[in-house]
Structure 1
């Protein structure tokens, strides 16, 4: 699973077959809850995911959490 810090929120992304699945990530307990309302296009390359997440969640950006970055 790819784990991103998305403006202070941890999001997990997992490739399953030809689809990308999106999860809310609790890294303290290593628990992941599926998010169905966030869609990543199936054809999107892994290196494009941070930009896509930035576009979706840009309103959550703050001085403390200004970026989307992969942490795992």
Structure 2
């Protein structure tokens, strides 16, 4: 699973036979909860995901958390 810091919020992204799946990530306990309302198109590559997440959540950007960063 890929873990992203999306403007201060941790999200996990996993590619399965059903396409990309998105999870809320609790990094302190390593627990993941599936999020069904965030869709990543199946044809996106791993390298395109940060840009996609940035487009979706750009309103959450702040001086403290200005970017989407892959942390794992």
Cα deviation, residue 18, structure 1? 4.7
Report the 3-state secondary structure (helix = DSSP H, G, I; strand = E; otherwise coil) of the residue aligned with 1:51. helix
TM-score normalised over the length of structure 2: 0.98
Q: Which runs of 4+ in 1 moved over 4 A?
A: none
Residue matched to 1:63: 63
Give the distance between the partners of 2:8 and 2:35, measured in 1 at CA. 17
Residue matched to 1:28: 28
Cα deviation, residue 10, structure 1? 0.1
Aligned: 1:46 with 2:46: yes
Unaligned runs of 5+ in 2: none
TM-score normalised over the length of structure 1: 0.98
Q: How many residues align?
A: 72
Cα deviation, residue 29, structure 1? 0.3
Report the 3-state secondary structure (helix = DSSP H, G, I; strand = E; otherwise coil) of the residue aligned with 1:23. strand
Unaligned runs of 5+ in 1: none
